[in-house]
Structure 1
Amino acid sequence: MELLAELTRRRVLAIIRADSAELALTSVRTLIEAGVTALEISLTTPGAAEALREARAEFGPEVLLGAGTVVTPEQADEVAAAGVGFIVTPAITRGAQRSIELGLPLLCGALTPTEVITALDLGALAVKIFPAKLYGPGYLKELRAPLPKAPLIAVGGIDATSAPEYLRAGAFAVGIGSPLLGDAGQGGSQTALAARANEFLKAVANA
């Protein structure tokens, strides 16, 4: 399964931050049932590596499962051992370098043109434009002009209204955290989470 093509097809990457591994797994199950099948669990979640390990064992390869907020080489090693399919970093970190060394697909965080090129030169599969909301879809479109072949995923402050705008501006997918998760990671309503997932999937369907 070619990760970039699959993320492009699925369009939404759910970013899960929770107060515990159990709450993270509950949200993972809800999102998958709702049709969101590309997910990352942030390492800001206590017990994230264990949640990733359990989720990987529970769901088949059709679910794209990655680790987010990977900063250090040790974190990259830990999530690699958990069986993740890809790694996401907030910036060009030592964890990003280690991910490349491990042969894991990397979505590397960047914002400026220099950072985007540096991330791609490092070997990143794609570049996470973060925080995307800072400059909006127009900025991503401008980035695409000198870098038309750079695979860019927009992340940070994207809601169901703006998500299609980022896709039309040239992002191959959007990463959605709190506008999708809401308070589900803190024990909030899973029914409401499923409803938000449906809202996002409908929003990007025709972008």
Structure 2
Amino acid sequence: MNETSPASGTSPSGAGDPADGSAAAPAPLPRELELARALVVLPDRGVDRLMPIIEVLVQEGLDVVAVELAEGGDPAGLFPLYSFRACLGAARVSSAVHARRAVDLGAAFALCPDPSDEALAVLRDGGVPAICEALTPSEVRAVWRRGVAAVEVTPADVLGERYLKALPAMVPEARLVAGVQEIRTGRRWLNEGAVAIDVTDPVLSRVLVSGDHASLRKRAAEAAQQLGRQRRR
């Protein structure tokens, strides 16, 4: 699933428009992410371990999920299984090799903590929107100017309430995603104009260690309810 927003084909707020027009404009964020307003990131632990977690998330309405492209890992089996039920992205995309893998998998978006210029170019040419990390206003501006679809402010809780109110006004050109420890903090970011929040920490907790999918379901359901998401069965 790689459905894009109605603004597909245009660059968000002019980001990444090269002066000579030689490079493609950055792909916009998936419509599913903008509607869900939340995403969850899964480490690469093998298809068998991730499938029941993704199933719970999708059933409870958290259907935008990114899977890490770890060295030696191959989450390819997840994409055909969930392409019609979830919006699957690739996480930890830093090199051109990772970026090409994300494009080949049909990732709906890519989370790129610290990507090379070549990686961003591969994603842009492949039509995969990139979300990169930053924290301070100057970092957000610098990342946005690299031609990304959004900037993830992380850790978004660390600088407090005054910062979440001030930052969007300081970087009005940038589309923001907030990586949060608590859903209530994430809702404040959404109220201040963030496109979405990364709810990985509060939702997943220690499920990959404990294997407690019942507790995961409860956390996912509570998060989805707070975000106004609908359950799927």
Q: What is the TM-score when the length of structure 2 is the normalising length?
A: 0.76
Output the aligned Cα RMSD: 2.3
Residue 184 of structure 2 aligns to a residue whose secondary structure is: coil
- Name the residue aligned to 2:11: none
- Percent identity between matched residues is 26
- What is the correspondence of 1:110-149 to structure 2 with a 5 Å cutoff? 110-149=134-173
Q: Distance in 2 between matches of 1:92 and 1:18?
A: 19
- The correspondence for 1:199, drawn from 222, 225, 232, is 222
The alpha-carbon distance between structure 1 residues 38 and 30, as it changes in their structure 2 partners (threshold 3 A), is same
Residue 170 of structure 2 aligns to a residue whose secondary structure is: coil
If each structure's helix is expressed as a fraction of its own residues, which one has the higher value? 1
Residue type of the alignment partner of 2:69: L
The alpha-carbon distance between structure 1 residues 60 and 75, as it changes in their structure 2 partners (threshold 3 A), is closer
Q: Distance in 1 between matches of 2:184 and 2:78?
A: 30
List, as ranges, runs of 4+ consecutive aligned residues in structure 1 with deviation greater than 6 Å: none
Residue type of the alignment partner of 1:168: N
The alpha-carbon distance between structure 1 residues 186 and 82, as it changes in their structure 2 partners (threshold 3 A), is farther
Structure showing greater Rg: 2
Does the 8 Å CA contact 1:8/1:173 hold for their aligned counterparts? yes
Q: 1:87 offset after TM fit, Å?
A: 0.4
Aligned pair count reads: 202
Q: Distance in 2 between matches of 1:123 and 1:160?
A: 28
Q: Distance in 1 between matches of 2:83 and 2:90?
A: 16
Question: Which stretch has the larger CA shift, 25-34 or 132-141?
Answer: 132-141
Structure 2 unaligned spans of 5+:
6-28
1:39 aligns with 2:75: no
Q: Distance in 2 between matches of 1:65 and 1:102?
A: 16
Structure 1 unaligned spans of 5+:
none
Q: What is the TM-score when the length of structure 1 is the normalising length?
A: 0.85
Q: 1:187 offset after TM fit, Å?
A: 5.0
Residue 85 of structure 1 aligns to a residue whose secondary structure is: coil
